[in-house]
Amino acid sequence: MFVQMKRIVVKEGFSEPVLAKFSGEGKLEKQPGYIDRTVLKKNVRRGDEEIIIYVRWESESDWKNWEKHPDHIAGHKANIGKPKPDHLIESSQTTYHVHAVR
């Protein structure tokens, strides 16, 4: 199993659109190897809000296939040249190979 984790920190009061974007059903769920997605939220320093999107895949290659999928690429290309939203403080992504699930 393979896990992709996205971490997004936004100013207080701006988490709802991000939560809605990542909580709704879309093309991701139809991708081969997709298992599930968990969306988490917590209030952090000075009232900022942190969102974690935890996506489980059958394998790293399934995740890579999604990253190269035209639908995924088109979603990112739509934002090229647009300024970073003022409410976005930080955004990062990391991946892990799962070694145990109990």
Tens digits of per-residue pLDDT, 2-43?
Answer: 999 999 999 999 999 999 989 988 888 999 999 999 999 987
What is d(CA 11, CA 18) in angstroms, rounded to the nearest whole number?
11
Band of pLDDT at residue 45, cut at 50, 70 and 90 = low
HSE-CB of 55 using CA atoms within 13 angstroms:
23
CATH class name, domain 2-97: alpha beta
Are 55 and 84 in contact by the 8 Å Cβ rule? The answer is no
| Tokens representing residue 68 in the block | 């190269």
pTM value is 0.86
Domain boundaries, the chain: 2-97
Mean of the per-residue pLDDT values of the chain = 91
